Amino acid sequence: MTIPFSFEVYPPRKPEHQAALHETIQKLATAGPDFITVTYGANGSSRDASLDCLRFIREHTDVAPLAHVTCVGSTRDEMNALIDEFLAADIRMFLALRGDPPEGADPQSDYLGDVKTAAELVHLIRERGDNDLSIAVAAFPNGHPMSTSPSSDIDILLAKQAAGAEFAITQLFFNATDYLSFLSSARAAGVTIPILPGIMPVTSLSRLRHIVEITGERMPRDLEAALEAAPSPAHARTVGVAQAVELCRQLVAGGAPGLHLYAFNEHETVLEVLAQLNEPA
């Protein structure tokens, strides 16, 4: 199965983890992804580490680095300076995100910043850069945690598209129908940009429960039961990879334009998913 794919990593939480992440990035790069994204901590908490990781991808691989950028809680001048810093490092791809509200802020407030939405951030990045930039945005097949309705999620995606977004990457999900139904509704509403499904192979019960807790996604009961019944970590890994492979097959069959794999800073699992996808059916 030949289809475009990409990966996501996050900056090392401790300096001693940097060498391992660099090795993972190089292993991921050898698979030939379209790009590798690097996450950006809330309110810029991982700014320097994110930029270091992006520079490593730029300087030590042939893969395009894509920078996550969040705007909530920031002034326009701060955002301009941040974008200029990324551009100076020859970063040409961005994922424009609103981000979480500052700690202690009322989530219904003005977020204490000048650039309040991802659509505004897309426009700002366009203003700072040139025609060579590529800007992605987030999409939420099962709704953003603060969404008021499914239609509002699509309206927001339309606004991001109108601001200049070229493609979207979804939050992770566990059922192909979640993505395919969202894609159908988005297309009917006028969204024309590619929407890449975000897939995270989950290889342990504890990780599954943590992911569900932090994302608000519905617990996939079949996967939960299979991971709980696995007699060893190796068996659990086999379960998680198999679930991700089957999900990817259904998505591609349903018209997904590519696959975005959340690597969780580990190369073995996502590369195994790709290897199995490329095996004859």
Query: Is residue 8 annotated as part of the catalytic site, yes or no?
Result: yes
The dihedral built from the CA positions of residue 181, 120, 98 and 263, taken in this order, carries a sign that is positive
Which secondary structure element, helix H or strand E, spans residue 6, and what is its range? strand 5-9
Catalytic residue among 8, 120, 217, 272: 8
The helix, strand and coil proportions of the chain, stated in percent and rounded to the nearest 5, come to 50, 15, 35
Radius of gyration in angstroms for the set of CA atoms belonging to the chain, rounded to a whole number: 18
The answer to whether 84 and 140 are in contact (CB under 8 A) is no
Alpha helices by DSSP H, listed for the chain, are 18-30, 47-60, 76-88, 118-128, 150-163, 176-189, 205-215, 221-229, 233-253, 267-277
Q: Which amino acid is at 244?
A: A
The dihedral built from the CA positions of residue 120, 121, 126 and 129, taken in this order, carries a sign that is positive
Residue span of the structural domain in which 144 resides: 5-277
Main-chain phi, psi angles of 79, to 5 degrees: -65, -40
The answer to whether 21 and 275 are in contact (CB under 8 A) is no
Distance CA 124, CA 33 (A): 27
Average pLDDT per consecutive 10 residues, the chain (281 residues; last block may be shorter): 90 88 97 95 70 95 96 87 93 92 60 81 89 93 79 94 97 96 96 98 95 91 96 96 97 97 96 91 61
What's the pLDDT at 105? 62
What's the pLDDT at 1? 59
| Helices 18-30/267-277 angle, 10° precision | 10
What CATH number should be reported for the domain holding residue 85?
3.20.20.220
What's the pLDDT at 263? 96
Q: For the chain, how many structural domains are there in total?
A: 1
